């Protein structure tokens, strides 16, 4: 397991009694033990949890304040040899001012103290009655009775290798520029928020969105822990809201209003976060806005064992698992594709478009995009010239689906059999027609493209490309054959998503007779049909038997390009995600195939036609991805 990439973090909300420090400590310790038992290396507690948040004017009582520091010392002593970073809330007197602070504790020592930068004093909050704002406090030192020269300030970064922690407190998240924004620019990739946020109607949803948005903006993990239902209910109710987010995604959350000690944990992928920051130039440029130099406090975990790997790994990272969300995504993608094609058609002034239809998924999607675009531009569907070009491997099933779909959609349909032209070409280049090699296949692909290009010229139209992102990644296209077009509408859509886009149309946008054709196309094996049919007239050449399952390749592609992950990590994640679907040896075999084909086929991607970027991964040489066509893949073997 690549433990250097992952760390388990925890958010805790202990049972508390207002101003009952001994009682509170017992429950805080209970939560620490729980977090350790689950393999966590960080646990974030609520704001002022040692005293409780709702002590009000009791915060002026010297006994309470002294006992609170005794409580911090107790947690320090308890933390010895525990190998977990603890962020716990308590007040601090410094220079005759009272601060609301996060005490960061590790292995018997307070590593640093972070004051709350912004003190709310509006609506139901009046913290300025007791506390002083910590904004502007940097590079200070404080002495406690059990430890001296403790770093005190808002610029503290707690670092263990690539794991860098920063902390803020409640209101800090709600301001225009949260301290965590600066902490992330200082290097913190894991942010803890010690909070006491009361509940009013709809506030929880807003708070969740705020946590997710800040984790996305900071490209960080954000751990949020709020006070629970045992705070004073004189005027307010608290719910013990616990949230763990990572770069905009919510990894874990609890059911609020619990009446027991509660700890939630999740595994965070810090390597993924660092990769996001590395590729984001705007993040790098923003580091110039850091108001002060960070003070980095180094410490070292004994180990990074996160115990069982329970982080959710999406097998299909390009495809939302929730149907409602997936339908929204499909609609958005169609809008992007049709808008891109509409702009190209209106710019060129053409009124016609040409597409080759095979009865397969990709050409079907391209045709559906063209139909939708022409309707949007108020151009008749008869101006779409659909051409089916049966060859040596064309089956009755794909042929009939192609013919029926084109006719029912109202396009101008043409059929051109390429067998005679290919036989002539074999003769011209002295190729044995019985030799079913790459030349045999590519002759057919290039013949089809030549026909389509020439029809487009003759009719004054655009040839629309049908190839998808997965095929481009693997180089599964014939150079200057189906590789080429005048505009490629599917160029950044992976094969796993193509399938759902066609299904979306079948289920929501067309009458039943067309839907039935689309559903049969979805059930047809993926094939270029360039080799002769089998003895039963069925498809003999199945793409996934040759290059491997597209769901694996799309998974490899996402993690390789989007995350910049190393091979051992990609394989680890793939084996976790697909453990119920493929043996480890199969996954390793196809990953090796993916890497080899991805590197050796770059020359095709260096010369692809224009087409719209749809998702987070694109291989266009003019946009997202620039790679030498002759780069070696030895490092990634």
pLDDT in tens, 481-516: 999 999 999 999 999 999 999 999 999 999 999 999
Instruction: Quote the pLDDT of residue 1.
Output: 56
- What does the mean pLDDT of the chain come to? 95
Q: Is 307 a catalytic residue?
A: no
Q: Are residues 184 and 79 in the same domain?
A: yes
Q: Are residues 387 and 294 in the same domain?
A: no
Instruction: Quote the pLDDT of residue 539.
Output: 74
535/134: higher pLDDT? 134
Q: What is the mean pLDDT of residues 339-365?
A: 96
Percent of the chain with pLDDT over 90: 91
Q: Are residues 186 and 129 in the same domain?
A: yes
Residue 564 domain-assigned?
no
Residue 311 domain-assigned?
no
Tokens found for residue 27? 């429950």
Q: Are residues 266 and 345 in the same domain?
A: no
Residue 398 domain-assigned?
yes
pLDDT digits 0-9 by tens, 180-205: 999 999 999 999 999 999 999 999 99
pLDDT digits 0-9 by tens, 241-251: 999 999 999 99
Per DSSP, the three-state class of 612 is: coil
Instruction: Quote the pLDDT of residue 544.
Output: 85
Do the beta carbons of residue 45 and residue 308 sit within 8 Å? no
CATH number of the domain encompassing residue 222: 3.60.110.10
Nearest to 521 by CA among 541, 498, 544, 540: 498
Q: What is the mean pLDDT of residues 225-230?
A: 97
Residues in Cβ contact with 369 at an 8 Å cutoff, skipping those fewer than 6 apart: 334, 337, 338, 341, 464, 489, 490
Could you say which of 55, 67, 101, 116 is catalytic? 116
Residue 570 domain-assigned?
no
Q: Are residues 137 and 235 in the same domain?
A: yes
Is residue 440 very low, low, confident or very high in pLDDT (cuts 50, 70, 90)? very high
Known binding residues for L-glutamine are 122, 197, 203
End-to-end C-alpha distance for the chain, whole angstroms: 18
Q: Is 116 a catalytic residue?
A: yes
Known binding residues for deamido-NAD(+) are 442, 471, 476-479, 604
Is residue 2 very low, low, confident or very high in pLDDT (cuts 50, 70, 90)? low
Do the beta carbons of residue 636 and residue 627 sit within 8 Å? no
Starting at the earlier edge strand, list the strands of the sheet with 190-195.
249-253, 242-246, 221-226, 190-195, 163-169, 156-160, 295-298
d(CA 588, CA 136): 53
d(CA 394, CA 271): 47
Residue 30 domain-assigned?
yes
Half-sphere exposure of 48 (CA within 13 A, CB side): 27
Q: Are residues 344 and 388 in the same domain?
A: yes
Residue 587 domain-assigned?
no
Instruction: Quote the pLDDT of residue 3.
Output: 63
How many distinct structural domains can be found in the chain? 2
Q: Are residues 405 and 263 in the same domain?
A: no
Instruction: Quote the pLDDT of residue 130.
Output: 96
pLDDT at 355 over 60: yes
Of 281, 298, 315, which closes a domain?
298
Which residue range is the domain that position 368 belongs to?
323-543+606-629
Instruction: Quote the pLDDT of residue 541.
Output: 77
How many residues comprise the chain? 637
Of 247, 281, 298, which closes a domain?
298
Q: What is the mean pLDDT of residues 210-238?
A: 96
Nearest to 420 by CA among 382, 384, 447, 441: 447
Return the minimum-mean-pLDDT range out of 505-509, 526-530, 542-546: 526-530
Is residue 538 very low, low, confident or very high in pLDDT (cuts 50, 70, 90)? confident
Could you say which of 31, 41, 47, 168 is catalytic? 47
Write down the pTM of the prediction. Answer: 0.91
Known binding residues are 122, 197, 203, 356-363, 442, 466, 471, 476-479, 604
pLDDT at 593 over 60: yes
pLDDT at 398 over 60: yes
Could you say which of 31, 55, 170, 330 is catalytic? 170
Q: Is 538 a catalytic residue?
A: no
Instruction: Quote the pLDDT of residue 537.
Output: 79
pLDDT digits 0-9 by tens, 159-171: 999 999 999 999 9
Q: Are residues 225 and 147 in the same domain?
A: yes
Per DSSP, the three-state class of 625 is: coil
Q: Are residues 209 and 80 in the same domain?
A: yes
Of 298, 313, 334, which closes a domain?
298
pLDDT at 438 over 90: yes
pLDDT digits 0-9 by tens, 256-293: 999 999 999 999 999 999 999 998 999 989 999 898 99
Is residue 14 very low, low, confident or very high in pLDDT (cuts 50, 70, 90)? very high
Q: Are residues 68 and 102 in the same domain?
A: yes
Do the beta carbons of residue 246 and residue 215 sit within 8 Å? yes
Do the beta carbons of residue 87 and residue 194 sit within 8 Å? yes
Residue 251 domain-assigned?
yes
Half-sphere exposure of 292 (CA within 13 A, CB side): 16
């Amino acid at each position: 397991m690549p433990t250097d990439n992952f760390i388990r973090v925890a958010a805790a909300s202990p049972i508390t009694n207002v101003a009952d420090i001994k009682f509170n400590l017992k429950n805080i310790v209970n939560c620490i033990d729980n977090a350790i038992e689950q393999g966590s290396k960080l646990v974030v507690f609520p704001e002022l949890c040692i005293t409780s948040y709702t002590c009000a004017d009791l915060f002026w009582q010297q006994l309470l304040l002294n006992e609170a520091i005794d409580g911090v010392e107790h947690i320090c002593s308890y933390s010895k040899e525990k190998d977990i970073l603890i962020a716990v809330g308590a007040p601090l007197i410094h220079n005759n001012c009272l601060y609301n602070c996060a005490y960061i504790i590790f292995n018997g020592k307070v590593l640093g103290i972070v004051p709350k930068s912004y003190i709310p004093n509006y609506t139901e909050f009046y913290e300025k009655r007791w506390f002083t704002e910590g904004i502007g406090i940097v590079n200070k030192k404080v002495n406690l009775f059990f430890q001296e020269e403790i770093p005190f300030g808002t610029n503290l970064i707690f670092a263990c290798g690539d794991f860098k922690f920063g902390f803020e407190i409640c209101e800090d998240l709600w301001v225009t520029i949260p301290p965590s924004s600066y902490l992330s620019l200082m290097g913190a990739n894991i942010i803890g928020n010690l909070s006491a946020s009361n509940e009013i109607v709809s506030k929880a949803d807003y708070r969740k969105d705020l946590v997710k948005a800040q984790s996305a903006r900071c490209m960080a993990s954000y751990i949020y822990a709020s006070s629970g239902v045992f705070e004073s209910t004189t005027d307010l109710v608290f719910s013990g809201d616990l949230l763990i987010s990572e770069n905009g995604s919510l990894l874990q959350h609890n059911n609020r209003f619990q009446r027991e000690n509660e700890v939630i944990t999740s595994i965070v992928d810090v390597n993924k976060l660092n990769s996001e920051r590395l590729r984001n130039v705007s993040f790098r440029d923003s580091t110039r806005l850091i108001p002060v130099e960070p003070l980095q406090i180094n410490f070292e975990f004994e180990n990074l064992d996160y115990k069982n790997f329970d982080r959710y790994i999406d097998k299909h990272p390009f495809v939302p698992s929730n149907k409602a969300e997936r339908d929204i995504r499909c609609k958005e993608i169609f809008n992007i594709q049709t808008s891109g094609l509409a702009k190209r058609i209106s710019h060129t002034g053409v009124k016609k478009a040409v597409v080759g239809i095979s009865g397969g998924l990709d050409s079907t999607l391209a045709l559906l995009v063209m139909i939708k675009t022409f309707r949007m531009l108020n151009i008749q569907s008869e101006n779409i010239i659909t051409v089916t070009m049966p060859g040596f491997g064309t089956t009755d099933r794909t042929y009939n689906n192609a013919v029926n779909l084109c006719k029912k959609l109202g396009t101008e349909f043409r059929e051109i059999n390429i067998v005679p032209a290919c036989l002539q070409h074999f003769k011209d280049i002295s190729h044995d027609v019985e030799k079913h090699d790459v030349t045999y296949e590519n002759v057919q692909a290039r013949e089809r493209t030549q026909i389509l290009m020439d029809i487009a010229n003759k009719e004054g139209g655009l040839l629309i490309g049908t190839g998808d992102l997965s095929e481009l990644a693997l180089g599964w296209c014939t150079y200057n054959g189906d590789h080429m077009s005048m505009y490629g509408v599917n160029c950044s859509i992976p094969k796993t998503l193509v399938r759902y886009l066609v299904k979306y149309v079948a289920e929501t946008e067309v009458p039943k007779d067309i839907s039935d054709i689309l559903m049969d196309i979805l059930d047809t094996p993926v094939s270029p049909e360039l080799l002769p049919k089998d003895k039963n007239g069925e498809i003999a050449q199945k793409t996934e038997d040759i290059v491997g399952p597209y769901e694996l390749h799309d998974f490899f592609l996402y993690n390789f390009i989007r995350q910049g992950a190393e091979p051992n990590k990609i394989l680890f994640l793939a084996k976790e995600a697909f453990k119920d679907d493929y043996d480890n040896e199969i996954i390793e075999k196809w990953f090796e195939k993916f890497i080899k084909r991805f590197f050796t086929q770059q020359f095709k991607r260096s010369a692809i036609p224009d087409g719209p970027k749809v998702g987070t991964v694109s291989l266009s040489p003019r946009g997202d991805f620039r790679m030498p066509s002759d780069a070696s893949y030895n490092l990634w073997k």
